[in-house]
Structure 1
């Protein structure tokens, strides 16, 4: 295939507003970013004039790049794109024409998304078997699969839950409100109070943005420090993750995570201000201070500025994670690595 054909396929994919499609699909509260990305790429196939597999894969890669570029947190989205493009590339078929193949790919993408919506229930059933009656659980931020697990556990057992506030987005409040409405004893704690409350906790249960190839976890910022505290207190740290969030990414530190925000933890340049002026006599400098002639620029730091200068997610090392509950079973971090290798090996 010539370079001009490749460029043509990429151009054709841009005529379809894939990011707008992705945003529209996300309006469904049951659809998570990886699934929304898969469904958006499925619609791209439906609207693509590609006539060969090379052109189609080029268009899919261009569409995935377009979504990732416009997203402030592309990690979980990227996991869905990676999974779907690998599926398209490795898809076995006996289609009589390329148009027939595209129809099959569209159908398979839609069927996978429908099936994936059942994964949370599977994970909840698996995780609840590890929850004892009378358990005190600590959870962080908001996660659909964690919510489903806690609600199912409440139907069968007595539980109570501590929920972190989860700054900067404050999504722990959403979790606490939903749990309280369901009749689950719940208490919101400050992020800075995690070490204080850990002694009262039986285990930690968190969701995930992605589970990476090392077996580590990418989740709402603050998850890493909770895992460190849990490890120090000898309390299990469990993660819940649908298999479509397994991601071939291998971060070695927090700063290996792909992020579109260049301002994270940057030191802003001080705003220009007048130099302090001392109008008093050199023999009596205190008179100048008393007269208030030293002027300093007013400093105001808003919550919005703090949020913009902080990350949405962080990375938790595999040695801090006890188990990952998924629709493919309860896995150790090492088991996640092995599963990922097999999943992308065809």
Structure 2
């Protein structure tokens, strides 16, 4: 892949990811579909090599992004999953790959709506929900529950030095949802008032655990010790073929540098109650089965 094409792929990806409604993985899917559309390859094998190179280049561009890597891998598996493509006429094969790419992008875009629909059933009238992180799918779920007439309150953690909780608080307030912001260190103090915890995920790994914004693990530990359900809302394109064993292993698995202020942590599966996904409501132990199906 030449320098000009690399710049085009990264440029496409960055343009798509600037749209607030698009997840990073969906932006990658859009950029990879454009690679197929531009391709001048004369054989299906040549086209597949171009696509694979573009996928690897995107993954290398930000090795710390779990959802970007998982999205690229799933896209490659989805669009090239039949060997019959190798024997197709290049024009017919290219059209089919474009169709698959667009279909995969549409499925991924609708994932948030599906998760919101499934997860809002777990929001009970009068409950108090603790939210950590700034997940778009969590926001969609809470807004849908409120639109369906459920009355509940939300407590949002401040979100460290970037104070991401303040932005989440503004969006919830704008949707008419009562919200309180607390400092991250007040989670244990506040947990008595909480009926359930709800977080998003940067990645869902093979064990059924999650990789998410720093502090998720300690929130899960406190929720577990105080017997509060801990729910995760995550799209299936964030299911990653990773198996971190601990926090140190996480930095190796994701390629992120170890530092005194890490951006993410790993929460093991036994601290999670259920995962709301576009594949259904899953127990952590069911994740590995779904991963096998996704990559078959």
- Is the 8 Å Cα contact of residues 73 and 312 (structure 1) preserved in structure 2? no
Q: Is the 8 A contact 1:68 1:78 kept in 2?
A: yes
* Counterpart position of 2:50: 59
**Structure 2 length normalisation: TM-score?**
0.92
Query: Compared with structure 1, are the counterparts of its residues 166 and 44 closer, same or farther at alpha carbon in structure 2 (3 Å cutoff)?
Result: same
Give the paired residue count: 292
Q: 1:259: how far off?
A: 4.4
Q: Distance in 2 between matches of 1:13 and 1:246?
A: 31
Task: Work out which of the residue numbers 258, 273, 277 in structure 2 matches 1:322.
Answer: 273
Which residue does the alignment assign to 1:134? 126
Assess if the C-alpha contact under 8 Å between 2:66 and 2:238 holds in 1: no
Aligned to 2:243: 250
**Structure with greater Cα Rg:** 1
Sort the Cα spacing of 1:52 and 1:213 in 2 relative to 1 into closer, same or farther, 3 A: farther
2: distance between equivalents of 1:169 and 1:30?
A: 20
Q: Which has the higher helix share?
A: 2
8 Å CA contact 1:52, 1:98 repeated in 2: yes
Which has the higher mean CA deviation after the structures are superposed, 45-54 or 134-143? 45-54
Are 1:323 and 1:331, in contact at CA under 8 Å, matched by a contact in 2?
yes
CA distance in structure 2 between the aligned counterparts of 1:334 and 1:260, rounded to whole angstroms = 26
User: CA 1:250/1:242 → structure 2, altered by over 3 Å: closer, same or farther?
Assistant: same
Distance 2:163 2:156 in 1: 11
Superposed displacement of residue 315, structure 1: 1.1
Q: Is the CA contact 2:156–2:168 (under 8 Å) kept in the aligned structure 1?
A: yes
Question: Could you list the runs of 5+ residues in structure 2 that have no partner in the other structure?
Answer: none
Moved more, 91-100 or 46-55: 91-100
Quick check: 1:210–1:246 contact (8 Å CA) kept in 2? yes
Q: Which runs of 5+ in 1 are unaligned?
A: 1-9, 266-308
- Residue 296 of structure 1 is matched in structure 2 by none
Q: Report the 3-state secondary structure (helix = DSSP H, G, I; strand = E; otherwise coil) of the residue aligned with 1:142.
A: coil
Q: CA RMSD in A?
A: 2.0
Q: Look up the SS of the partner of 1:81 in the other structure.
A: helix
Question: Do the aligned partners of 2:201 and 2:211 also contact (CA within 8 Å) in 1?
Answer: yes
Alignment of 1:225 with 2:218, yes or no, is: yes
1:188 is displaced (CA, Å) by 0.5
Contact 2:79 2:100 in 1 (8 A): no
Aligned mates of 2:52, 2:65 — CA distance in 1: 14
Please state how far the C-alpha of 1:59 moved relative to its aligned partner. Answer: 2.2
Instruction: Give the distance between the partners of 2:122 and 2:116, measured in 1 at CA.
Output: 10
Q: SS state of the match for residue 161, structure 2?
A: coil
Farther-moved stretch of structure 1 (158-167 vs 122-131):
122-131
* 1:35 Cα deviation from its structure 2 partner: 0.8
